[in-house]
Amino acid sequence: MAKVGWAVVVLFVLSTLVGCGGSAPQQSTTGRTGQGAAAPAGRVRLIAFVGSASKPPAEEAKATYEKRNPGVTVDMTFAGSGTLLQQMILEQTGDIYWPGSDDFMDKAEAKGAVIPETRRIIAYLVPAICVREGNPKGIRELADLARPGITVGLAEAGAVCLGDVSAMVLEDVGLLAEVKRNVITYAKSCEQTQQLVQLGEVDAVIGWDVFEKWTPERVDSIPIPVKLARVRNIPAAVSVYSKQREAAQEFVDCLASSEGKAIFAKHGYSIEPPGQ
């Protein structure tokens, strides 16, 4: 093969290895961001609605991406996935929807709020019982959450994907009504759910196994059998309201790349389906 031919092949291979680097996307020809605000000249501003279940790695992924792509700013709003979806639709704004689980992405697709073919899986979330460090109440299984004297916190179903998952897990084992008697508060995001046990406001929550990784000195986790756990995946997709779809897609693809997944793995998230 001619030297020029080899050069072309090498450049192609190198281009396929790029994860979150490369040149910054060009600003939309409209000069507007997903929220309708003008972006600084020559700079792209992406608006991402992010479920709180992804907050620690999401913040690192944002910093990494912006460092590699100095022409891009990614503004993130963290909250419950249902709350974010409602906000995005009502305001018809945003470039990226990044919920805490796939069921809310399914809802976003059904409502026509995201572009289905842009959807990517980033990581997986595994439900677990989360307790205060040292497990002072000796909680070992789901049935213990129904014991007299145990205080429980749950995420709010409908607003937070974890709330829906928690309800389904407890329903599957016939404990929903009994555990609800011990629930003293409902949280409106995954972050708030984790803080309930981290700050000692409750004895236990049904959370994600990564909650322990967020503050290992304050939270312990007790596995729920995989067959009962209702594992979810964390997806991201481009919003139909985005006026900078190419730039938004590049960021989503970065998150789902090996480099993006490595950030999640570093924070204790599963990047392969549990059991595989």
Could you tell me which residues are beta bridge partners of residue 221? 130
Q: Closest Cα partner for 268 from 60, 165, 123, 131? A: 123
Q: Please, what is the Cα angle at 50 between 93 and 107, to 5 degrees?
A: 70
CA angle, 29 then 30 then 34, to 5°: 115
The Cβ-side half-sphere exposure at 192, using a 13 Å CA radius, reads: 19
Residues 141, 256: Cα–Cα separation, whole Å:
34
The whole-number pLDDT of residue 11 equals 33
- pLDDT reading at 19 higher than 80: no
Where does residue 36 fall: left (phi above 0), alpha (psi -120 to 50 degrees), or beta otherwise? Answer: left
pTM: 0.79
pLDDT digits (tens, 9 = 90+) for 202-243: 999 999 999 999 999 999 999 999 888 889 999 999 999 999
The answer on pLDDT for 13 being more than 80 is no
Nearest residue to 169 (alpha-carbon basis) of 159, 184, 180, 182: 180
Which residues 6+ apart lie within 8 Å of 237 measured at CB?
A: 96, 97, 98, 105, 108, 109, 114, 115, 116, 118, 119, 120, 252
pLDDT of amino acid 42: 63
Burial class, 254, CB count within 10 angstroms (exposed 0-12 / middle 13-18 / buried 19+): buried
Instruction: Give tens-digit pLDDT for 147-197.
Output: 999 999 999 998 888 999 999 999 999 999 999 999 999 999 999 999 999
Say how far apart CA 270 and CA 258 lie, in whole Å: 13
* Strand extents, DSSP E, 99-231: 120-125, 127-132, 152-155, 183-187, 204-208, 219-223
Q: What is the C-alpha to C-alpha distance for residues 210 and 238, in angstroms, rounded to an integer?
A: 26
Sign of the alpha-carbon torsion through 49, 52, 54, 59: positive
pLDDT of residue 159: 86
Q: What would the pLDDT profile of 240-261 be if each residue is shown by its tens digit?
A: 999 999 999 999 999 999 999 9
Dihedral of alpha carbons 32, 33, 39, 45, sign: negative
Please identify which residue in the block is written with the tokens 């697709």.
109
Rounded Cα–Cα distance for residues 23 and 20 (Å): 10
DSSP at 225: P
Q: Under DSSP, is residue 153 helix (H, G, I), strand (E, B) or coil? A: strand
pLDDT band at 36 (very low <50, low <70, confident <90, very high): very low
What domains lie within the chain, and their CATH numbers?
A: 18-124+233-266 (3.40.190.10), 127-229 (3.40.190.10)
pLDDT in tens, 83-130: 999 999 999 999 999 999 999 999 999 999 999 999 999 999 999 999
